[in-house]
Structure 1
């Protein structure tokens, strides 16, 4: 029995509505979770919202709301995005949840018991937008002479009493971690960045604030709330039952994969392991920092007016079309760019014209020319066997690539199998065989039926709704749609006994580009 698989997204900061970057990470995490379930693993997927911190408190003041009312409203938008994009999460966690406050305070107490916390005074630069502290040497001079963070966000000089975490104590252990476990942080470019950062020297980290009260109270220290990143990172523990232990904790911790954006790698690959080491807890097995998704080559921002509502995009082009495009077009781990034209071109060429058309044509011919009947007793030719083997081999390539989070490469392998099937249809011309060799027509149609079933199962983690709609039409039972079903030698004979193909319905309609964008 394979090990359980616990995957998390970064929890989203809900001081604004979701944008395409949030959707990209959620979709990628869902594809991984569905893929691992189809590999037979017990999977837990967690996502949610990170609702504490100064940025939320200031946003609430601007809008004239209580901070809790703002958090409730905005967190609802992120949950709606996940539901609308078919994200199969097991828990949508909120950092205002009572069990999360308890978990955060338990982690704090464990770090304190290890002698890693002390009270002092913080003086330094802080970015409210990043919710991050920066050293003088990390700042960038702006054109007007003010300081900016490495992410080009404003910073302000902060002076207040603060609890500190002895991060400096963990410098050597972190470097040893990166050396001994090269897969701990991926891709390689992120690992190299963090090795350089840690090797440059770690200073102790301010981990409490007294200038506002919207956060998790520090145990035994009136007036202090936890630095938002201590609280936010702890969500990964909260979701599996920390500090109580129990069945979920035993089964799922340590996490198999933290999936995050490249801009928050430092928090996850430096601060988080150090907190866990201090608390005596196991480290996650892998952290992967994916790239940014750009809108026509530009990062989305309110000032540029190019922020995309992911649910509007999904409503316009279809949830599965959007999911497929994002996993197919962007090399995972790298920055990528998207546009309405690119979504239409990619999904029309591959899902509608290639796979969708293949399935529609073959099921229609079986319905019309074979009275919908499947024939398991007709001999397959060497050509038929070669095609089916190629399809199954390419799906094996997809699975190997998906294990490595190389989604674009995996889908390229899948498309090779789709193209091979379409070439086979053109070469065999089953519509013409009806008159010249009806038995050969049936053999051709049957191998293509089997290949379409394999292809639908292969791509199911990416386009779950569409793949299931097609498999429903093909009579494939819901419990026969995991990858293990591809190894079943008896499925087709059993299906052919009593299943008949009815008039098929297309599951990948062609998209049209609005005239304004065509122009």
Structure 2
């Protein structure tokens, strides 16, 4: 049995509705989860919403509603997005959950017991939008001459009593972590950024607030709530039952992968491991900071009027089409760009014309020329060469790339196998063989039938709905739908022995057109 695999996304801050960046991370995480399940691993996959902090409290006050009412409404939109995009999470966690408050307080007490928390007075710059503290040296001047954070967000001078975490104590342990375990933080560019940041010196971190009460209460300290990032990061422990040493904790911690956006790497790669070191908890195995998704090359913003509703895109072009485009188009870890035109162009070329047409042609010819009956083939070198090439791409190259989170590389290998099948059809010309050598035609068509099973299994983590529909059409049982099964031919022999009749196919990927006058 393969080792268990625990995967998390960053939990989304729900002071607004989901945008395409939220969908991108959720889809990528789901591809990883489905892939690891297909590799035979027991997977625990968690996502959710981060609902505390000053930003939520102020937003609720602006709207004239309670903060909890705002949190309930907005969190529901993120859950609906995940469900609508076929994100196969095991838990959708909310930081308002009771067990999360208990876990956060337990982590706090563990850090306090280690002598890493002390009460003092905080004076400094704080960005409400980032929920982050910034040193004077990190600030720049905005267009109006005001101070702004490295993210370009407004900062305000804050003075209040606060608990502090001895972050400075962990400067050398963190540098040793980055040096001795380079795989802990990827891609390399993110690790280099954090090495530079930590090497510049770490100041102790303010980890409680008294100016508002929307958050997890600090145990034993009246009037203090935890800094939102202490609370938010703890969700990764909450979902496994921390502090109880139960089955989930024993099975899945430490996490195999925290998947996050590059803008929150500092919190995950500096603060989080320091908190865990303080509490005596094993560190996650890998943190991966992916890039931004740009709208026609521009970062989305309300002021530019280019904020995209991912569910509208999914409705217009299809969930699997959107998932495929995002994983295929962008080199994971780098920034990428999208547009409706780019989605339509790639999906039509690769899913409709290449893969969808391959399935449609193959199955239609079997139905039309063989009455849908499968036969035991008399395969020659050309047939074996094709199946070997397809299996190498689907069983070896794609999984190897996906293990490295190189989704576009893995999909490119898969697409090469699709093209090889289409070339094989053109070379073998079964429409001509039907008249000159019907037995050879049958072998060609059932060889393609076998290849289609491998192609559908391999790409299923990316396009789960359409791949499942094709595998159903091919009559592939659940025991033959993982990567280990790709070297096993028994499924086909069983279908032949059962006199299986292939039904008439329906197009998997109808050609798309750009939806005019979009307001996404």
TM-score tier by shorter-chain length is over 0.9
Cα deviation code 1:317-364 (max 9, x no counterpart): 000000000000000000000000000000000000000000001000
For residues 343-492 of structure 1, the aligned pairs below 5 Å read 343-376=343-376, 378-395=377-394, 396-492=396-492
* Map of 1:44 onto structure 2: 44
Indicate yes or no: 2:196 matched with 1:196.
yes
Cα deviation code 1:1-28 (max 9, x no counterpart): 2110000000000000000000000000
Per the TM alignment, residue 105 of structure 1 is displaced from its structure 2 partner at its CA by 0.1
For 2:80 and 2:144, the matched residues in 1 are separated by 40
* Map of 2:254 onto structure 1: 254
Cα deviation code 1:143-199 (max 9, x no counterpart): 221100000000000000000000000000000001110000000000000000001
In the alignment, is the contact (CA less than 8 A) between 2:30 and 2:87 conserved in 1?
Answer: yes
* Map of 2:155 onto structure 1: 155
**Aligned to 2:215, what secondary structure does the other structure show?**
coil
**Aligned to 1:183, what secondary structure does the other structure show?**
helix
For 2:515 and 2:332, the matched residues in 1 are separated by 29
* Map of 2:213 onto structure 1: 213
Cα deviation code 1:92-150 (max 9, x no counterpart): 00000000000000000000000000000000000000000000000011122110000
Cα deviation code 1:190-221 (max 9, x no counterpart): 00000000011000000000000000000000
For 1:251 and 1:365, the matched residues in 2 are separated by 49
Per the TM alignment, residue 294 of structure 1 is displaced from its structure 2 partner at its CA by 0.5
**Aligned to 2:75, what secondary structure does the other structure show?**
helix
**Aligned to 1:48, what secondary structure does the other structure show?**
strand
In the alignment, is the contact (CA less than 8 A) between 2:476 and 2:491 conserved in 1?
Answer: no
Per the TM alignment, residue 515 of structure 1 is displaced from its structure 2 partner at its CA by 4.4
* Map of 1:22 onto structure 2: 22
For 1:196 and 1:495, the matched residues in 2 are separated by 60
* Map of 2:316 onto structure 1: 316
* Map of 1:58 onto structure 2: 58
The TM-score normalised by the length of structure 1 is 0.99
* Map of 1:232 onto structure 2: 232
Cα deviation code 1:420-469 (max 9, x no counterpart): 00001011110111110001100100110000111000100000000000
Q: Which runs of 5+ in 1 are unaligned?
A: none
For 1:372 and 1:405, the matched residues in 2 are separated by 39
For 1:514 and 1:70, the matched residues in 2 are separated by 33
In the alignment, is the contact (CA less than 8 A) between 2:391 and 2:487 conserved in 1?
Answer: no
In the alignment, is the contact (CA less than 8 A) between 2:18 and 2:81 conserved in 1?
Answer: yes
For 2:177 and 2:349, the matched residues in 1 are separated by 45
**Aligned to 2:183, what secondary structure does the other structure show?**
coil
Indicate yes or no: 2:507 matched with 1:506.
yes
In the alignment, is the contact (CA less than 8 A) between 2:261 and 2:290 conserved in 1?
Answer: yes
For 1:255 and 1:101, the matched residues in 2 are separated by 20
**Aligned to 1:362, what secondary structure does the other structure show?**
helix
* Structure 1 range deviating more: 390-399 or 58-67: 390-399
Q: Which runs of 5+ in 2 are unaligned?
A: none
Per the TM alignment, residue 514 of structure 1 is displaced from its structure 2 partner at its CA by 2.8
**Aligned to 1:282, what secondary structure does the other structure show?**
coil
Cα deviation code 1:280-324 (max 9, x no counterpart): 000000000000000111111111111111111100000000000
Per the TM alignment, residue 516 of structure 1 is displaced from its structure 2 partner at its CA by 4.8
For 1:164 and 1:380, the matched residues in 2 are separated by 71
For 1:356 and 1:70, the matched residues in 2 are separated by 43
Per the TM alignment, residue 487 of structure 1 is displaced from its structure 2 partner at its CA by 1.7
**Aligned to 2:182, what secondary structure does the other structure show?**
coil
* Map of 1:300 onto structure 2: 300
**Aligned to 2:164, what secondary structure does the other structure show?**
strand
Cα deviation code 1:378-426 (max 9, x no counterpart): 3101000000001111111111100000000000000100000000101
* Structure 1 range deviating more: 264-273 or 490-499: 490-499
Per the TM alignment, residue 496 of structure 1 is displaced from its structure 2 partner at its CA by 1.6
For 2:480 and 2:88, the matched residues in 1 are separated by 19
For 2:77 and 2:137, the matched residues in 1 are separated by 38
For the aligned residue pairs, the C-alpha RMSD in angstroms reads 0.7
* Structure 1 range deviating more: 489-498 or 66-75: 489-498
For 1:510 and 1:470, the matched residues in 2 are separated by 17
For 1:101 and 1:480, the matched residues in 2 are separated by 43
